[in-house]
Structure 1
Amino acid sequence: MTSSNLNIVKGGPAEGSTVVLIHAVGLDLTYWDHQIEALTARHHVVALDLPGHGRSARAPHSGSIVDLARDVAMVIDDLGALPVHVVGHSFGGMVAQELAISYPNRVRSLTLAATAASFSDEARDYLRSHSSAVCAQGMSAALPSLPLSLADRTAQRRPDLLERLTRTILAMDPDVYAAAWTEIAGFEASDRLSGIRCPSLLLVGDEDRNTPPHASALLAQDIAGAAMVVIDGASHMLPMEAPERFNEELTSFLQVVETRTTPNLTY
């Protein structure tokens, strides 16, 4: 545990550059298993459980994205290895955006996977209804949307992934989960993305129904120098659906960033 009371795991050489991994809503740090395995050959890898997820206790604060970014900044400060590479998936990508905007001196590079900076009014209404359904019915109300987070081919050939997601979601605290979805529904960072000056990589699946490639294209448009990669045959659970391609793109990006003499040059 750290001073921010988040559960974390560390791996890889302590002398290597640090990579911090921030998971999606309802998941936990174990969903970075493929990335941890790939990154620890060269990097000091730190994966964390957001408050109320995995083995982290519920937060003493509201659980807002602003508060969560502050929590992650505290973890980074505890590590004492500034700045760090930050990788965020979905909701974790929103926390990562806020971190890079509000705490730029902590972030050496930013990788955003299957995420967005803004939503249409129609999408916001849907996200709020998802939160309300969980408040009223419990975590079982979240299950019908889970198959949509995987590409059709993935769901057919890897039913174990859907089973894993189901078990994790059912174990969630519905209050924490619903509050996070309310935060997602209200998230708006598009007008502040120009403040992100570090090298940035955007990864998205071509079959992502939750945060489609168009959402990443808008991020790429507003983050100076950002590179965007669309991964074929993958949907919203990109890190677990297409781990080989995800890891190839991520490790190549980090290698390029680390050849630069000035960390804040664009990719």
Structure 2
Amino acid sequence: MSQIHTLTMPKWGLSMTEGRVDTWLKQEGDRVEKGEELLDVETDKISSSVETPFSGVLKRVLARPDETLSVGALLAIIVDGDATDAEIDEVIARFQADFVPANDAAEASGPTAQKIELEGRTLRYFDLGEGGTPLVLIHGFGGDLNNWLFNHQALAADRRVIAMDLPGHGESGKTLRTGDLDELSHSVLGLLDHLDINTAHLAGHSMGGAVALNMARLAPRRVASLVLIASAGLGTEINGEYLQGFVDANNRNVLKPQLIKLFSDPGLVNRQMLEDMLKFKRLEGVDGALRQLVSQLFPDARQAVDLRPQVGQQPSLIIWGAEDGIIPAHHGEGLPAQVEVLPGQGHMVQMESADQINRLIGSFLKAL
């Protein structure tokens, strides 16, 4: 029995309403397997590849390069088995007749980020999903909750998931007091108190991994498990040239070479990403906050805090991109944890290989 599958424009993050087709990586008539990358799509945040959730033959390519389409729009038809052209035409016609494009008004009625005042400082967070032990997503140095835009919604299918902007980042307050891990960790604990969450799973990327580890040290009973992605705090090495270059960068030409170091595919660093980052860096208080964090956490281009002894006190999953150019993957060796190293991936592995990361985290949490 044949199955006719519709491949549609994905939704990466709640603010995404459309995407521009960049390049098709497969051609009509090609056999494709579930999980294979079919095309590259660019949004106002980042470029990324679309993976097929189906196996079969790519029978029809409906979205052309440089075409901008709404989230949910039809990209292609994949057929598993045999199907006539007439049957495929019927599926396409029915889909197009029923499809309602996303629009800004519909998006505005959906979930939005929230802000609270906590100990005299604003904290922004995004709260999705329900049920189970909540999962908190903690971004890295210079990032914000949008670093999880390919992960948050997918992970929230199974449980409540909260992403936040750490102090000094995103739309949270920019003033830091000590600029150390304790201050950042207490801000996350304060958000959990505000949300009446006694125990949570923590997933931290880069500096956010060190924040998660330090939370587990400060308040072990409140941490159900740790997911550490390219985590700081597990060794002394770090790319000091990147840190200083990122902090000092004040225009696109200077910033772009630094951001490229985060990704295995430099093409992901698009103009919009650069503009968004520069806009953030020019906000009052950001430069001082970033320099304070570097001096406290990464002085002399080294990591100042060793949190390796904390790993294994809670169930722990460690994920690294093998080609990480910021924090080396060998920092994950020899730890009492499930360690997954993804070949060919860089520092922003949760964005570049989102589907695989989401599967790893989902499986890890379900097994607990």
Q: Is the CA contact (8 Å cut-off) linking 1:204 and 1:238 kept in structure 2?
A: yes
1:223-242 equivalence runs, <5 A: 225-242=336-353
> How far apart, CA to CA, are the structure 2 residues paired with 1:119 and 1:209?
14
SS in structure 2 of the partner of residue 233 of structure 1: coil
> How far apart, CA to CA, are the structure 2 residues paired with 1:188 and 1:58?
22
1:9-28 equivalence runs, <5 A: 9-13=126-130, 15-28=131-144
Please list the CA deviations of residues 15-59 of structure 1 after superposition, one character each: whole Å capped at 9, or x if unmatched: 332010001111110121111111111110111001121110113
> How far apart, CA to CA, are the structure 2 residues paired with 1:40 and 1:31?
15
> How far apart, CA to CA, are the structure 2 residues paired with 1:43 and 1:138?
38
Correspondence for 2:159: 43
> How far apart, CA to CA, are the structure 2 residues paired with 1:8 and 1:71?
12
Which structure exhibits the higher relative contact order, with contacts defined as CA atoms closer than 8 Å and separated by 6 or more residues? Answer: 1
Tell me the C-alpha RMSD between the 2 structures.
2.3
Correspondence for 2:16: none
The 3 A distance-change label for structure 1 pair 115 and 37 is: same
* Partner residue of 1:7 out of 86, 109, 124: 124
The 3 A distance-change label for structure 1 pair 252 and 133 is: closer
Deviation at 1:237, TM superposition (A): 0.6
Please list the CA deviations of residues 167-186 of structure 1 after superposition, one character each: whole Å capped at 9, or x if unmatched: 34322222222222223315
* Partner residue of 1:145 out of 258, 278, 291: 258
State, as a whole percentage, how many aligned pairs show the same letter. Answer: 28
1:169-248 equivalence runs, <5 A: 169-170=277-278, 171-172=280-281, 173-186=286-299, 187-190=303-306, 193-194=309-310, 197-217=313-333, 221-222=334-335, 225-248=336-359
The 3 A distance-change label for structure 1 pair 118 and 132 is: same
Count, aligned residues: 241
SS in structure 2 of the partner of residue 116 of structure 1: coil
The 3 A distance-change label for structure 1 pair 101 and 192 is: farther
1:25-104 equivalence runs, <5 A: 25-104=141-220
Deviation at 1:192, TM superposition (A): 5.8
Higher radius of gyration, 1 or 2? 2
Kindly provide the amino acid, as one letter, of the partner of residue 19 in structure 1.
L
Please list the CA deviations of residues 183-241 of structure 1 after superposition, one character each: whole Å capped at 9, or x if unmatched: 33154443662475110000000111211210122xxx34xx41100112210011111
Q: Which has the higher strand share?
A: 2
Correspondence for 1:263: none
5+ residue gaps, structure 1, are 258-267
Q: Which has the higher helix share?
A: 1
Kindly provide the amino acid, as one letter, of the partner of residue 178 in structure 1.
R
Q: Is the CA contact (8 Å cut-off) linking 1:39 and 1:251 kept in structure 2?
A: yes
Correspondence for 2:274: 166
SS in structure 1 of the partner of residue 190 of structure 2: helix
> How far apart, CA to CA, are the structure 1 residues paired with 2:330 and 2:311?
21
Deviation at 1:75, TM superposition (A): 1.1
Q: Is the CA contact (8 Å cut-off) linking 1:131 and 1:179 kept in structure 2?
A: no
5+ residue gaps, structure 2, are 1-114
> How far apart, CA to CA, are the structure 2 residues paired with 1:61 and 1:100?
21
Deviation at 1:132, TM superposition (A): 5.7
- Greater shift, 35-44 or 140-149, is seen at 140-149
- Greater shift, 94-103 or 159-168, is seen at 159-168
TM-score, with length taken from structure 1: 0.81
